[in-house]
Chains A and B, each alone.
Chain A
Amino acid sequence: MSALVAIRSRTRARAAVTAVALAVLLAGAILLGLLLGDYRLTADEALRALLGIGSRVDVYIVTQVRLPRVALAVLCGAALGLSGSLFQSMLANPLASPDLLGISGGAGVAAVWATVVMGYTGAAVAGAAFVGGMTVAAILLGVSRRLSDGGYRLVLAGVGIAYLCSALVGYLLKRAQLNDAQSAIVWITGSLGATSWMPVGIVGLALAVCLPGLIGAARSLPILALGDPVARGLGLAPATARIAIVVTAVLLATATTAQIGPVGFVALCAPPIARALVGHGSAALAAAGLAGALILLTADLAGQYALPGLSVPVGVVTGAVGAPYLLWLLATSKGRRA
């Protein structure tokens, strides 16, 4: 066996072990999500209810209350982890994530506008959010042509746009009906509460649509990382590849934002965890998706049950955990993961 085969099989083994470990943890968190709550269920009852066996209340609680919420957390977390991973690997910058780049903010403005002003619901809101996020991405790409510092000023520009977006959201809410504003405020913090199967379907559909883009990105990102001249020499068109990656990443982030609001830091934190676990300078897309799902679901469970008698939205939890990480990232200036 050649040295190369040995190295490759070791690399693949590590990626596989990482994926399996994350999947096992995620399965545990999912089970916990089905069990925890005021209505007591044993693991056996919960799993049977999942198959439609058991009392009507059991089945209703599991399949219509807890499972949609858990599924939404898993899908949204995966979408955020993947989106962050795409941005960070493409820009070779650990600060690049849809929330810090202002893309979630743009999606938020469009989603609030669609809900409050236009009265849209469901997939139409997701569509508006995508347009909002793409608008911000297009502005950033236009600006970045004149930037040559590998993305730091791009992130600053994104932070500026994010502030502008939160101001716009504030303005939209101010002129909205009290009822709409109430629901929009819940949404702004980032919340998985009051879930039905509808948003789960929308985010699931977005993930399915993004699958070809993700497969393409998994192939083009390692080549793009070698620099544009080398990438061209290997037969890749860097500009086309980047546009495909941005569209995919924006769709993933905005579909999530439209359904659960601008939940911060998941897209920022999940990818570096995945990269550290997988190693070898890989973008570790699959692991980033699993890590994102695990983080968001765990954060939601913590928000619901960690403080007795007090349930906080998931966005509060991810913010409380993610903000210190961002500060650490800035303080240690571990800046460039090229």
Chain B
Amino acid sequence: MTHRSAPTTPSLRARTLGAGYPDRTVLDGLELTVSPGRVSVLIGANASGKSTLLSTLARLIPPLAGTVELDGTDIHAIPRRTLARTLGILPQHPVAPDGLTVAELVARGRYPHRGLFGRWTAADTAAVDEALAATGTAPLAERRIGALSGGQRQRAWIAMVLAQDPRILLLDEPTTFLDLSHQLEVLDLLVRLNRERGTTVVVVLHDLNLAARYADELVVMSRGAVIAQGRPADVLTPSVVSEAFGLEALIIPDPLTTTPLVVPVPGGVRASADET
């Protein structure tokens, strides 16, 4: 990993952030400091603003109010390709064109690093090879994206953003539509990247128990605001789960990892418990 130049991990911060769409405000006055060099998992009910936050942090959509700062600089004041060399994002359900192979997809991740005449360099080759190796997609390099399984395809896309070589990596629900073993495969990969490269990872997940297991830090969102942030054991309490998800739940230690395990209380059990 000799081609990486910046050893320091930049900080990413949202200040009084407002965002959304012309007809609907999603985020309002949101404050968030992403912990550098750690794995943060964004959780929250549907429509709580997770994706909008991630898109705004990555400059996919402009904020309506407030700023997103990278090392104290407004990201909208940074040239796009310069920003893309530090900050990478894998949006939800990306679609590759027909016939594209894994190697070509991953090579496109080098776009922000190419010079004026787009010459392909040894550093580009090294970064792509490394991304293929890190994601275990090297044996698939010549396969077409369309012919891959869901888990393989997701790893190929992650390889593309890794080739981009960002110091901060944002991923929007990278495990959706994957079966459980593939979900674990993707999350293990992200944690390994974080540990080996020191990449800051921010990932949106739906499964609370996987979130608790893999997160250094949980960020809980509700109605466009961050309502809790911290270690899973500190954050995942019955009251936070109730506030964020409108869900009554028992929190017990995961027998395997001792991270919090959320056991939702079904309606029927709740009713009978009330009677006693």
Contact A7 B91 (CB under 8 A): no
CA distance A234 to B161 in the complex (A): 8
Q: Judge if B118 is at the interface, Cβ distance under 8 Å.
A: yes
Contacts A235-B80, A280-B99 aside, 16 further interface pairs with beta carbons under 8 A come to: A3-B138, A3-B142, A5-B125, A7-B101, A7-B141, A225-B100, A226-B95, A232-B60, A233-B58, A233-B161, A234-B109, A235-B83, A236-B80, A281-B98, A338-B95, A338-B97
Which residues of chain B have C-beta atoms less than 8 A from A3's C-beta? 103, 129, 132, 138, 141-142
CA distance A3 to B97 in the complex (A): 22
Which residues of chain A have C-beta atoms less than 8 A from B192's C-beta? none
Contact B97 A225 (CB under 8 A): yes
Contact A229 B141 (CB under 8 A): no
Contact B112 A4 (CB under 8 A): no
Q: Which residues of A contact B (CB under 8 A)?
A: 2-5, 7-8, 11, 92, 215, 218-219, 222-223, 225-227, 229-230, 232-237, 279-281, 336-338
Q: Judge if B270 is at the interface, Cβ distance under 8 Å.
A: no
Contact B59 A232 (CB under 8 A): yes
Which residues of chain B have C-beta atoms less than 8 A from A8's C-beta? 103, 107, 120, 125
Which residues of chain A have C-beta atoms less than 8 A from B111's C-beta? 219, 223, 234-236
Contact A4 B81 (CB under 8 A): no
Residue on A nearest B122 in the bound complex, by CB? A5
**A7, A219, A237, A279 interface centre (most CB from chain B within 10 Å):** A7
Contact B80 A4 (CB under 8 A): no
Other-chain residue from A5, A11, A92, A232 in contact with B97 (beta carbon distance below 8 A): A92
Which residues of chain A have C-beta atoms less than 8 A from B132's C-beta? 3-4
Q: Judge if B94 is at the interface, Cβ distance under 8 Å.
A: yes
Give 24 A-B contacts (CB < 8 Å), ordered by A residue.
A2-B129, A7-B103, A7-B141, A8-B125, A92-B97, A219-B114, A223-B111, A225-B97, A226-B94, A227-B94, A229-B60, A229-B92, A229-B94, A230-B160, A232-B58, A232-B60, A232-B80, A233-B88, A234-B112, A235-B81, A235-B83, A236-B111, A338-B95, A338-B97
Contact A281 B97 (CB under 8 A): yes
Which residues of chain B have C-beta atoms less than 8 A from A225's C-beta? 97, 100
Q: Judge if B184 is at the interface, Cβ distance under 8 Å.
A: no
| Given A4-B141, A223-B111, A230 and B104 contact (CB-CB distance below 8 Å) | no
Contact A219 B118 (CB under 8 A): yes
Contact A4 B96 (CB under 8 A): no
CA distance A218 to B55 in the complex (A): 27
Other-chain residue from B79, B98, B108, B128 in contact with A223 (beta carbon distance below 8 A): B108
Contact B112 A7 (CB under 8 A): no
Q: Which residues of B contact A (CB under 8 A)?
A: 55, 58-60, 79-85, 88-92, 94-101, 103-105, 107-109, 111-112, 114, 117-118, 120, 125, 128-129, 132, 138, 141-142, 160-161, 164
Which residues of chain B have C-beta atoms less than 8 A from A279's C-beta? 99
CA distance A212 to B60 in the complex (A): 27
Closest-CB distance, A85 to chain B (whole angstroms) = 15
Shortest 10 CB-CB contacts between residues of A and residues of B: A235-B84, A235-B81, A229-B91, A281-B99, A235-B112, A233-B89, A235-B80, A281-B100, A338-B97, A234-B111
Give the interface SS of chain B, mostly helix, strand, loop or mixed: mixed
CA distance A68 to B125 in the complex (A): 45
Other-chain residue from B55, B84, B125 in contact with A4 (beta carbon distance below 8 A): B125
**B55, B58, B103 interface centre (most CB from chain A within 10 Å):** B103
Contact A233 B84 (CB under 8 A): yes
CA distance A237 to B59 in the complex (A): 11
Which residues of chain B have C-beta atoms less than 8 A from A219's C-beta? 111, 114, 118
Which residues of chain B have C-beta atoms less than 8 A from A281's C-beta? 97-101, 104
Closest-CB distance, A62 to chain B (whole angstroms) = 38
Which residues of chain B have C-beta atoms less than 8 A from A11's C-beta? 104
Contact B101 A280 (CB under 8 A): yes
Residue on B nearest A89 in the bound complex, by CB? B97
Residue on A nearest B98 in the bound complex, by CB? A338
Which residues of chain A have C-beta atoms less than 8 A from B59's C-beta? 232
Closest-CB distance, B130 to chain A (whole angstroms) = 10
Contact A233 B97 (CB under 8 A): no
Residue on A nearest B111 in the bound complex, by CB? A234
Closest-CB distance, A194 to chain B (whole angstroms) = 41
CA distance A226 to B145 in the complex (A): 12
| Given A233-B60, A281-B104, A4 and B129 contact (CB-CB distance below 8 Å) | yes
Other-chain residue from B101, B103, B108, B141 in contact with A234 (beta carbon distance below 8 A): B108
CA distance A230 to B60 in the complex (A): 9
Contact B98 A229 (CB under 8 A): no
| Given A3-B103, A225-B97, A226-B97, A237 and B141 contact (CB-CB distance below 8 Å) | no
Contact A2 B125 (CB under 8 A): yes
CA distance A14 to B112 in the complex (A): 26
CA distance A223 to B103 in the complex (A): 14
Residue on B nearest A229 in the bound complex, by CB? B91
Which residues of chain B have C-beta atoms less than 8 A from A227's C-beta? 91, 94-95
CA distance A33 to B108 in the complex (A): 42
CA distance A8 to B106 in the complex (A): 12
Contact A4 B107 (CB under 8 A): yes
**B55, B108, B120 interface centre (most CB from chain A within 10 Å):** B108
Closest-CB distance, A294 to chain B (whole angstroms) = 24
CA distance A274 to B98 in the complex (A): 16
CA distance A232 to B112 in the complex (A): 10
Closest-CB distance, A329 to chain B (whole angstroms) = 16
